[in-house]
């Protein structure tokens, strides 16, 4: 667990970026307000994690999963977040699936290229052996 309460705060750069994206252009926010938002966000994350952990414990699991978080949002009466979270989760899963397939395709392509390279090297080795044999035969004929 965290040694100091400050360790539980989200990074200031992240908080600042989120605030800037949420506010219209030209609106400034004080350092104190940014700090308060950071603390509130940290408390929210800790509370959501605690509620999600309760669902995992009910399921006799030690690992939190997405359904635990979604259930926690409903229990915390943040139902309006459930639909956007589900959409984000689906997007994330599609991206991960696409990355996994791309990695498989890349691995297959790499394997194919390595096989082609091996064949070329074998052919080169065969060519070199044949040249050496021809030279040896010529030397034997000359002797």
Quick one: 88 and 136 in the same domain? yes
CA–CA gap between residue 15 and residue 112 (Å, rounded): 46
Q: State the distance between the two ends of the chain, measured CA to CA, in whole angstroms.
A: 85
Quick one: 68 and 8 in the same domain? yes
pLDDT of amino acid 139: 64
Quick one: 71 and 138 in the same domain? no
Looking up tokens 């979270």 gives 85
Question: With contact defined as beta carbons under 8 Å apart, do 8 and 44 qualify?
Answer: no
Quick one: 68 and 2 in the same domain? yes
CA–CA gap between residue 28 and residue 119 (Å, rounded): 65
Q: What pTM did the predictor assign?
A: 0.62
Structural domain span for residue 45: 1-77
Quick one: 101 and 51 in the same domain? no
Quick one: 94 and 119 in the same domain? yes
Which residues have a Cβ under 8 Å from the Cβ of 15 and sit 6 or more positions away? Answer: 34, 37, 38, 41
Using the 3D structure, point to which of 55, 77, 99 is the last residue of a domain.
77
DSSP codes of every residue in 107-129: HHHHHHHHHHHHHHHHHHHHHHH
Quick one: 68 and 105 in the same domain? no
- The single-letter DSSP state of residue 62 is S
pLDDT of amino acid 142: 59
Query: What sign results for the dihedral spanned by CA atoms 96, 74, 50, 46?
Result: positive
pLDDT of amino acid 103: 85
pLDDT of amino acid 132: 72
Quick one: 43 and 106 in the same domain? no
CA–CA gap between residue 47 and residue 40 (Å, rounded): 10
pLDDT of amino acid 70: 94
Can you list the residues of the chain whose pLDDT is less than 70?
1-3, 5-6, 113, 116, 125, 134, 136-143
């Amino acid at each position: 667990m965290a040694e100091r309460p400050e360790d539980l705060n989200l990074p200031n750069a992240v908080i600042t970026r989120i605030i800037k994206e949420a506010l219209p252009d030209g609106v400034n926010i004080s350092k104190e307000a940014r700090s308060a938002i950071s603390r509130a966000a940290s408390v929210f994350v800790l509370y959501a994690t605690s509620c999600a952990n309760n669902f995992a414990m009910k399921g006799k699991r030690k690992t939190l999963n997405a359904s635990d978080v979604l259930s926690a949002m409903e229990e915390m009466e943040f139902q309006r977040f459930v639909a956007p979270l589900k959409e984000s989760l689906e997007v994330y899963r599609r991206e991960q699936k696409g990355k996994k397939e791309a990695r498989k395709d890349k691995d297959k392509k790499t394997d194919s290229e390595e096989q082609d390279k091996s064949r070329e090297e074998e052919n080169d080795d065969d060519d070199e052996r044949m040249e050496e044999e021809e030279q040896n035969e010529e030397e034997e004929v000359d002797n």
